[in-house]
């Protein structure tokens, strides 16, 4: 949803990063762990809308007019043609096989899901043959439980992720149900991880 990043940035207390270019941002503070909420906030702050931290890649959702156009590619199963997919792919290549965990919100969650499918199928090359864990928040997915090692979360009444039959719910922390804030994995029911030979269906509402 356009404007989501601006709203989250105002509420999040994470330090702001400046990005002089649209190159993927690398958070090089390796002496501390960061939450998915913090990492996704940094992704929205970045010009490239993706950031890496140690073994993690964070992928922001819709935040520009171009992203709105790319949202229409999701029901056509053309996520790979989106700008966000290309930005995430560039970050993976720059990481040289270091990334083991993906986290994405909204459009970024759809990108993360397709990246996991591509990695398992060997389409990303020998360095990325399947990520250890993929976390999506408010993503336009359908049957996310058919994607190996993917955990999908949403807030109640979020229309963007309403069709996902394999999603876990968490209470909404504020007025916006289509948010990546307020998820606590220890208090959520993790969806079953079921392998499938077929590709998942990824839709946007």
How many domains does the chain divide into? 1
Residue 78 neighbours by CB under 8 Å, 6+ apart: none
pLDDT tens by residue, 154-167 = 999 999 999 888 88
pLDDT at residue 194, rounded to an integer: 36
- Whether 74 contacts 30, CB under 8 Å: no
Nearest to 133 by CA among 153, 158, 156: 153
- Whether 128 contacts 97, CB under 8 Å: yes
Could you tell me the pTM of the whole model? 0.77
Report the 10 Å Cβ neighbour count for 16: 9
pLDDT tens by residue, 171-193 = 888 899 999 888 765 433 344 33
DSSP states along 170-193: ---SSS-SS-S-S--GGGS-PPP-
Residue 66 neighbours by CB under 8 Å, 6+ apart: 83
Q: Which domain holds residue 125?
A: 4-202
- Whether 40 contacts 105, CB under 8 Å: yes
Radius of gyration of the chain (CA): 15
pLDDT tens string, the chain, 205 residues long: the values are 444 554 444 444 443 443 334 666 665 554 456 789 999 999 999 999 999 998 999 999 999 999 999 999 998 899 999 999 999 999 999 999 999 999 999 999 999 999 999 999 999 988 888 899 999 999 999 888 889 999 999 999 999 999 888 888 888 888 999 998 887 654 333 443 333 333 444 443 3
Phi, psi (deg, nearest 5) at residue 131: -90, 150
């Amino acid at each position: 949803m356009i404007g989501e990043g601006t709203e989250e940035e105002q509420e999040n207390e994470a330090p702001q990063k400046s990005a002089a270019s649209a190159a993927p941002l690398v958070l090089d503070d390796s002496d501390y762990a960061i939450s998915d909420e913090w990492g996704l906030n940094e992704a929205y702050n970045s010009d490239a809308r993706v950031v890496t931290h140690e073994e993690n890649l964070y992928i922001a959702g819709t935040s520009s007019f171009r992203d709105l156009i790319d949202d229409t590619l999701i029901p056509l199963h053309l996520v790979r043609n989106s700008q966000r997919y290309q930005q995430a792919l560039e970050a993976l290549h720059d990481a040289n096989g270091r990334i083991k965990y993906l986290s994405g919100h909204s459009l970024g969650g759809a990108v993360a899901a397709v990246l996991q499918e591509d990695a398992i199928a060997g389409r990303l090359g020998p360095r990325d043959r399947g990520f250890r864990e993929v976390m999506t928040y408010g993503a336009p997915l359908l049957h996310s439980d058919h994607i190996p090692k993917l955990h999908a979360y949403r807030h109640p009444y979020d229309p963007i992720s309403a069709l996902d039959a394999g999603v876990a719910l968490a209470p909404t922390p504020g007025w916006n149900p289509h948010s990546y804030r307020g998820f606590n994995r220890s208090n959520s029911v993790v969806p079953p991880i079921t392998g499938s030979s077929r590709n998942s269906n990824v839709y946007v509402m």
